[in-house]
Structure 1
Amino acid sequence: MGENNKVLLGVLGGVLLGAFGAAVVKRGNLRPHAAKVLSYGYDIKDAIIEQAETLKETCEDLAAEAKEKYEDRKAEEQKPAVTPAPTVVPEDSKKE
Structure 2
Amino acid sequence: MRPQPRPDVTPPPTGTSLLYAQGQQIGVLPLNGTQMDKQRSSVLLALHGSIVVGIDYDCRERKVYWTDLAGRTINRASLEPGSEPEIIINT
TM-score range, shorter chain: under 0.3
Whichever of the two has the greater Rg, that structure is 1
Structure ranking higher in strand proportion: 2
Q: Which has the higher helix share?
A: 1
Q: So what's the TM-score if we normalise by structure 2?
A: 0.16
**TM-score between the two structures when normalised by the length of structure 1:** 0.16
